[in-house]
Amino acid sequence: MNNIEKFDAVAKQAVDRYDIQINEISFLAEETNILYKLSDVKGNKFLLKIFQENSSTLEDNLLEVFMMNLVSHKGGISIPSILSSKGGSKIQEIKLDDGSSPMQVALYSWLEGKDLDGNETGERFIQLGELTAQLHGATYGEEIPKTFSPKRWDSVFYYQEDPVVYKDSKYQRYLSREYHEIMDRIIPYLNNQLSRYYQKNEEHLQLIHSDLNPWNVLVRGNDMHIIDFEDVLLGLPLHDIAILLYYYRYEEEYNFDDVKRLFSSGYEKVRPFPVFEEFDLDLLMTARRVNFLNYILIVSEDPRTFIEKSLPRVKEFIQKYKLEI
């Protein structure tokens, strides 16, 4: 049984656990996880997600459910809902007879819309600021059950499932001596700085989305939806803001200061915008870039273009703040 056949079998077994009459099921994409698009006999659409073993744990999946429930109960934010099975569970464990490890599966309502990427306007940035503030308001002050131990962005490589591979011999044909020198210098510095945000702000930590990017925001007409909560972690609102703004820092189509101003003006309609220095934003965006400088080696057949663009931007951060590292 090849991978596609295996995923098809898992998807079909999972669907049988729900009280819906499926009319069509089709493979959608293999990204971090495996996605299928479903429709029932009434024309309703759903997204079925098979969590890859190396991308998350059952605790991660249940934490996603917990956060999405918090956000849904507060109202005002359009996100998918996670459907319960006939037995009442929102995460299904499917085990095939081929001896492979059990796989976790979730079924979500389908939200129509286009990616925000390529559909940005000034009004959309303001709207996104409002929605992000509502998202942060939904989890602020909420007690997290002791059964959960959420991940923290207290190091560059904060997901244990993400291997640090830039030292591996098979990638060296893409990497220069300068790449190694910069990575070896900046990673310990960033790790130290990232951990300080938690040491200084322990009482202000809350659950955050942690992957607010232009592909996890959908737009349709006047509506905006936030999707993909699988990377939930314990952090600060600033973390979410830095992750989002990262994607516009060097985008030629948009003036970064304008994007930041529009986003913050929308955010402040709902709640006060976090107080931070320019250094904080630059540091968090650099930490994400350094993470990607390693991750790109795993996911890209030819990572050279990304490396050529990103390495000078890490150097720029070091020089801008005259870091002695």
Q: What is the pLDDT of residues 263-288, one digit of tens each?
A: 999 999 999 999 999 999 999 999 99
State residue 80's pLDDT score.
98
Q: At a CB cut-off of 8 Å and minimum separation 6, what does 28 contact? A: 35, 36, 37, 47
The secondary structure element, H or E, covering residue 215 is none
Give the model's confidence band at 261: pLDDT under 50 very low, under 70 low, under 90 confident, else very high: very high
Mean pLDDT of 7-31: 95
Nearest to 150 by CA among 206, 200, 104, 204: 206
Kindly tell me the burial class for residue 278, based on how many C-beta atoms sit within 10 Å of its own C-beta (0-12, 13-18, 19 or more). exposed
- Centroid of chain to Cα 193: 21
- Would you state the torsion angle of the CA atoms of residues 95, 231, 296, 111, taken in this order, to the nearest 10 degrees? 80
Give the model's confidence band at 160: pLDDT under 50 very low, under 70 low, under 90 confident, else very high: low
Which phi and psi angles does 101 have, rounded to 5°?
Answer: -70, 150
Give the model's confidence band at 159: pLDDT under 50 very low, under 70 low, under 90 confident, else very high: confident
In sequence order, the β-bridge partners of residue 226 are 217
User: Quick check: do 3-110 and 122-320 share a fold?
Assistant: no
Indicate whether 247 pLDDT > 90. Answer: yes
Percent of the chain with pLDDT over 70: 99
Give the model's confidence band at 59: pLDDT under 50 very low, under 70 low, under 90 confident, else very high: very high
Question: Using CA atoms, how far apart are residues 295 and 55, in angstroms rounded to an integer?
Answer: 13
- Tokens at residue 273, please? 């915008």
Domain regions of the chain by residue span: 3-110, 122-320
State residue 75's pLDDT score.
79
Give the model's confidence band at 1: pLDDT under 50 very low, under 70 low, under 90 confident, else very high: low
Fold for domain 122-320? Answer: Aminoglycoside 3'-phosphotransferase; Chain: A, domain 2 (3.90.1200)
Nearest to 140 by CA among 73, 82, 217, 204: 204
Percent of the chain with pLDDT over 90: 91
Give the model's confidence band at 51: pLDDT under 50 very low, under 70 low, under 90 confident, else very high: very high
Indicate whether 187 pLDDT > 80. Answer: yes
Q: What is the pTM of this model?
A: 0.95
Give the model's confidence band at 161: pLDDT under 50 very low, under 70 low, under 90 confident, else very high: low
Detail the DSSP E strand segments found in 53-146. Answer: 92-94, 103-109, 114-115
Indicate whether 184 pLDDT > 90. Answer: yes
Average pLDDT, the chain: 95
CATH of domain 3-110: 3.30.200.20
Which has more confidence, 145 or 74? Answer: 145
Q: At a CB cut-off of 8 Å and minimum separation 6, what does 166 contact? A: 175, 179, 180, 183, 293, 294, 297
Indicate whether 325 pLDDT > 70. Answer: yes
Return the DSSP state at 88.
S
